[in-house]
């Protein structure tokens, strides 16, 4: 069974125009695409790699990107959006990935606020949105959505650092699954990330949410506070109740959640 990332194969399954370039190895698809964006690349430019040597996630954490098993993809968009609402892009992209995985594998993944996708409690995808802000309008000049999906378990298994928390979408190699997933994610990005004002993705984001009613630790500036996750509001903030019964609406910016 063959599943080699390839522009032609991805394009066969696209509903929309995207300008895709696939690399066998790259430092980071986000870093590469940022450079293109600074040089006025068109929206819908997409960089995909079979492996990354400097893949990174939120808070500059390393994103392990082994070869032949994942999708490491960055998509350039020019949304009409205030930069302070960037979480909406991440949330819409999470819905896009969740639904792409379901439509190609029938597997129901869940979204762990704000940017992780889990399958049976294991992380199978992380999303990192970065961008440039126009100083006059405070809106995005451009935004890049970086998506890393563990489609298969890597040849030498997941690195020991992440072995207990990482999972894969599929146990077996399936003909062109990575190519089809790339295309379906892009189709769904057109649907959700480019129609943010219609907000249909918010109810889906809430529906797919993993954290509701779970015991969590809120990590802020390195310190951890236990709480219960309550709900996600229409601005994609997470409502939590601390153990002293006080409640807070969390913005994603400087906060991460541990179970
Ligand atoms: C996270 O888990 O915090 C987000 C991870 C985002 C990883 C993707 S892989 C493609 C793109 N290139 C990167 O260097 N990061 C993103």
* Spatial CB neighbours of 107, under 8 Å, sequence gap ≥ 6: 101, 119, 169
Q: Which of 80, 135, 110 is nearest to 207 (CA)?
A: 110
Instruction: Kindly state the tokens that stand for 110.
Output: 């869940």
Determine what percent of the chain is predicted with pLDDT higher than 70. 100
**What is the structure's pLDDT at 250?**
93
Does any ligand 1 atom lie closer than 6 A to the CB of residue 123?
Answer: no
- Kindly tell me if the per-residue pLDDT of 213 is higher than 80: yes
Does any ligand 1 atom lie closer than 6 A to the CB of residue 79?
Answer: no
Q: Lowest mean pLDDT: which of 125-134, 178-187, 217-226?
A: 217-226
Region of 44 on the Ramachandran plot (φ > 0 left; ψ -120 to 50 alpha; else beta): left
**What is the structure's pLDDT at 24?**
98
**What is the structure's pLDDT at 70?**
98
Does any ligand 1 atom lie closer than 6 A to the CB of residue 70?
Answer: no
Cα 52 to middle of ligand 1, angstroms: 10
Q: Which of 64, 85, 70, 90 is nearest to 144 (CA)?
A: 90
Mean pLDDT within 179-205: 95
Does any ligand 1 atom lie closer than 6 A to the CB of residue 148?
Answer: yes
Cα 92 to middle of ligand 1, angstroms: 16
How far is Cα 126 from Cα 72, in angstroms, rounded to an integer?
Answer: 10
- Kindly tell me if the per-residue pLDDT of 188 is higher than 90: yes
Mean pLDDT within 72-83: 97
Q: Which of 176, 175, 187, 155 is nearest to 51 (CA)?
A: 155
How far is Cα 94 from Cα 104, in angstroms, rounded to an integer?
Answer: 16
Mean pLDDT within 141-150: 98
**pLDDT tens for residues 220-249?**
988 999 999 999 999 999 999 999 999 999
What are the structural domains of the chain?
A: 7-207 (3.30.930.10), 215-257 (2.30.30)
* Spatial CB neighbours of 27, under 8 Å, sequence gap ≥ 6: 52, 53, 54
Cα 55 to middle of ligand 1, angstroms: 6
Does any ligand 1 atom lie closer than 6 A to the CB of residue 55?
Answer: yes
Does any ligand 1 atom lie closer than 6 A to the CB of residue 43?
Answer: no
Global pTM reads 0.96
Judge whether 114 and 256 are in contact, CB under 8 Å. Answer: no
Ligand 1, pocket-test mutation among 51, 147, 158, most atoms within 8 A of CB:
147
**What is the structure's pLDDT at 258?**
83
Instruction: Kindly state the tokens that stand for 180.
Output: 């089809």
Query: What's the chain's Rg over C-alpha atoms?
Result: 18
How far is Cα 156 from Cα 168, in angstroms, rounded to an integer?
Answer: 13
Cα 25 to middle of ligand 1, angstroms: 15
Binning pLDDT at 50, 70 and 90, where does residue 91 land? Answer: very high
Binning pLDDT at 50, 70 and 90, where does residue 252 land? Answer: confident
Judge whether 57 and 126 are in contact, CB under 8 Å. Answer: yes
- DSSP per residue, 166-203: B--S-SS--TTHHHHHHHHHHHHHHHHTT-GGG-HHHH
Mean pLDDT within 74-96: 96
**pLDDT tens for residues 29-57?**
999 999 999 999 999 999 999 999 999 99
**What is the structure's pLDDT at 1?**
80
Nearest CA owner, ligand 1 atom 2:
126
Cα 242 to middle of ligand 1, angstroms: 30
Binning pLDDT at 50, 70 and 90, where does residue 197 land? Answer: confident
- Kindly tell me if the per-residue pLDDT of 209 is higher than 80: yes
Which atom number of ligand 1 is nearest to the Cα of residue 31? 14
Does any ligand 1 atom lie closer than 6 A to the CB of residue 51?
Answer: no
Ligand 1, pocket-test mutation among 27, 62, 146, 255, most atoms within 8 A of CB:
146
Residue with the bigger pLDDT between 2 and 254: it is: 2
- Kindly tell me if the per-residue pLDDT of 254 is higher than 80: no
Mean pLDDT within 120-141: 97
Binning pLDDT at 50, 70 and 90, where does residue 253 land? Answer: confident
Q: Which of 121, 97, 119 is nearest to 108 (CA)?
A: 119
Cα 234 to middle of ligand 1, angstroms: 25
**pLDDT tens for residues 20-31?**
999 999 999 999
């Amino acid at each position: 069974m063959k599943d080699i990332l390839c522009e032609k194969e991805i394009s066969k399954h696209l509903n929309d125009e995207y300008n895709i370039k696939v690399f066998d190895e790259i430092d980071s698809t986000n870093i590469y695409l940022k450079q293109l964006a600074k040089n006025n690349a068109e929206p819908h430019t997409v960089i995909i790699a079979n492996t990354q040597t400097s893949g990174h996630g939120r808070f500059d954490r390393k994103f392990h990107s082994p070869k032949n098993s994942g999708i490491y993809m960055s998509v350039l968009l020019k949304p009409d959006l205030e930069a302070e609402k960037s979480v909406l892009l991440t949330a819409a992209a999470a819905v896009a990935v969740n639904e792409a995985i379901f439509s190609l594998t029938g597997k129901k993944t869940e979204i762990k606020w704000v940017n992780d996708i889990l399958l049976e409690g294991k992380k199978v995808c992380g999303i990192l949105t970065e961008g440039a802000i126009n100083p006059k309008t405070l809106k995005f000049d451009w935004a890049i959505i970086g998506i890393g999906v563990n489609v298969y378990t890597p040849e030498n298994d997941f690195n020991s650092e992440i072995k207990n928390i990482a999972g894969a979408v599929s146990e077996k190699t399936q003909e062109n699954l990575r190519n089809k997933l790339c295309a379906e994610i892009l189709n769904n990005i057109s649907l959700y990330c480019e129609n943010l004002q219609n907000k249909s993705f918010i109810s889906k984001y809430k529906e797919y949410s993993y954290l509701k009613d779970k015991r969590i630790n809120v990590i802020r500036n390195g310190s951890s506070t236990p709480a219960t996750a309550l709900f996600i509001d229409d601005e994609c903030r997470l409502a939590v109740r601390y153990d002293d019964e006080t409640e807070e609406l969390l913005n994603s910016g400087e906060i991460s959640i541990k179970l």
